[in-house]
Amino acid sequence: MTFSLAQMWQSMGLPAKIVGGLLVMMGLASLTVFIERLIALRRSRSAGRRFAAEIGSELHPHSVESAIRDAAKYPRGHLPRLVASGLSTYCDAKACDESGLSAVERTRRSLQRRVEELGADLRRGLAVLASVGSVAPFVGLLGTVVGIISAFQGIAATGSGGLSSVAAGISEALIETALGLAVAIPAVLAFNYLSNSISRDEMALSSAAGELIDMIESWPEDDEAGVRRERVA
């Protein structure tokens, strides 16, 4: 038998084909998640840069409503969503002073929760990569065991231990082992790459939230009243 993938697939038994098919599906799932996360992160960063350039480095009390409208133009950007959430909470707090917390404190707490929510959204799908990277080698090991069992069945069927009687089972075992590693290694590398990249984005969001709070705290009291009147109107 020549070393051909098609011929080796045809020579596999049903259990080995099931294990191989499962590994292929796991590999496709991890590849899909990796590509989707790359596209999502790229779009989010691009939207954040455009939004930051649009509102400028300084945000004034009388431009709050305009900043919220500008953020709505970038629904795929995590930075615009964070800023819009913080400014909306601040305006609502100034318009309704029923709670014992100040508007700045309510905004700070809201931004902390929002950063956690956006971080969870950034990490969406990473569990698939982690699961594939940790489980795929064991699935490949299962295929190896199935191949060894097939080899012993070949010995039992022929009544001899020649190479021809065990070649099919050994080839199944080696193929499943290689396939499991081929699926697991890229998944682990993709998980580590995305984790590091997303950690940087989370740090950037936390820094942006802190800068927004510092900016709001620097606003004069009369400007804050103007924000409240604008929101009520």
What digits encode the pLDDT tens for the residues 100-114? 678 888 889 999 999
Question: What are 180's two structure tokens?
Answer: 């499991």
Instruction: Say what the pLDDT of residue 196 is.
Output: 96
| Full-model pTM | 0.81
**What is the largest distance, in Å, between two alpha-carbon atoms of the chain?**
96
Cα–Cα distance measured from residue 96 to residue 103, given in angstroms and rounded to the nearest whole number: 9
Residue ranges for the chain with pLDDT beneath 70:
1-12, 57-58, 97-100, 151, 154-169, 221-233
Encode burial over 217-233: b for 16+ CB neighbours within 10 A, e otherwise.
Answer: eebeeeebebbbeebee
Task: Please state, as a whole number, how many other Cβ atoms lie within 10 Å of the Cβ of residue 74.
Answer: 22
Instruction: Say what the pLDDT of residue 78 is.
Output: 93
Question: What are 209's two structure tokens?
Answer: 């939230």
Instruction: Say what the pLDDT of residue 49 is.
Output: 92
Cα–Cα distance measured from residue 175 to residue 206, given in angstroms and rounded to the nearest whole number: 46
Instruction: Say what the pLDDT of residue 112 is.
Output: 93
Instruction: Say what the pLDDT of residue 225 is.
Output: 45
Cα–Cα distance measured from residue 96 to residue 225, given in angstroms and rounded to the nearest whole number: 12
Cα–Cα distance measured from residue 159 to residue 28, given in angstroms and rounded to the nearest whole number: 41
Residues 6+ apart with CB under 8 A from 184: 132, 133, 134, 135, 136, 137, 140
Is the distance from CB of 78 to CB of 205 less than 8 angstroms? yes
